[in-house]
Amino acid sequence: MAELADIPNEFIKNEVDEFVEREDERAELIELYSQSAPHLLEIGAAIISGRNEDADRLTVEALERGTGALEVMDDGLIAGMALVGIKFRENFIFVPEVLACARAMKAGMVHIEPILSASGIEPLAKVIMGTVKGDLHDIGKNLCIMLLRGAGFEVIDLGVDTSADEFIDAVEEHDATLVGMSALLTTTMPNMGRTIDAFIDADVRDDVKIMVGGAPVTPEFADEMGADAYGDNAVECVEVAKRLVGVTG
């Protein structure tokens, strides 16, 4: 079993030591980071500190030296975001900092995505994502989408103010098996329930798993509305999505 001292990057070692408190997560991250190549951990460090220009440059350099795109993404970009997610969940950082990290991740993903899509790797599942009708907020949803794509899902982003019909049409058009709905306002949250009811009325509810999230949404509210799962944050959204499609790890 790896130790904290085995992580070959001082910055990440300190970050894990300072911010990761849960024993299981700490062990998992130490294992992950201690096995990663130093040049990929540099990418992770750039992501964690929100340095988009460094993330861009280091990703290009990693690819140029022959590291596979999947490895750069998993052990560099996503590995960095894993720690960002934990810091966000535990309120060590907030949305501005996460946006900066996401901007850095995007700078790296620009170089990874074309390679992955040309290689024909099958997605874990197709996910339809949107903010519910009447709600124009999309920060949380966009963070979820970025991490879902990073984790291997194909995401169809319906944007904001999405009607029940738009969700249903997208599921049918793309043959998707997962739907993610977001709401930021207490006033628009009930539209999640109405959308789920519309899936029932259209006789397509059993064709998909529905996950919901957003600042005012609670697990109890999600349950009462008839959602299959609730995610508290973007990292949890990925875990929930994997669970719903039967993927472990």
Give the residues lining the site for other proteins (CB under 8 A).
Answer: 50, 91, 93-97, 99-100, 103, 133-139, 142, 160-161, 185-190, 215-218, 220-221, 224
Instruction: Give the DSSP H or E segment for 172.
Output: helix 164-174
Shorter beta-carbon distance to other proteins: residue 31 or 97: 97
Q: How far apart are CA 220 and CA 113, in angstroms?
A: 37
**Residue 167 CB, nearest approach to other proteins (Å):** 16
| Least Cβ distance, residue 112 to other proteins (angstroms) | 22
Residue 94 CB, nearest approach to other proteins (Å):
5
138-151 burial, b at 16+ Cβ within 10 Å, e below that, comes to bbbbbbbbbbbbbb
Helix (H) or strand (E) holding 217: none
Give the CA angle between residues 6, 8, 143 to the nearest 5°: 105
Strand 154-157 and strand 126-131: pairing? parallel
List strands edge to edge, sheet with 229-230. 154-157, 126-131, 178-182, 209-213, 229-230
Q: Is the dihedral of CA 90, 91, 94, 95 positive or negative?
A: positive
Q: In the complex with other proteins, which residue's Cβ is closer, 36 or 233?
A: 233
Based on CB atoms, which residue is closest to other proteins, 86 or 160? Answer: 160
Question: What is the nearest approach in angstroms of other proteins to the Cβ of residue 49?
Answer: 12
Nearer to other proteins, 2 or 99 (CB): 99
What minimum distance in Å lies between the beta carbon of 233 and other proteins? 10
Shorter beta-carbon distance to other proteins: residue 143 or 148? 143
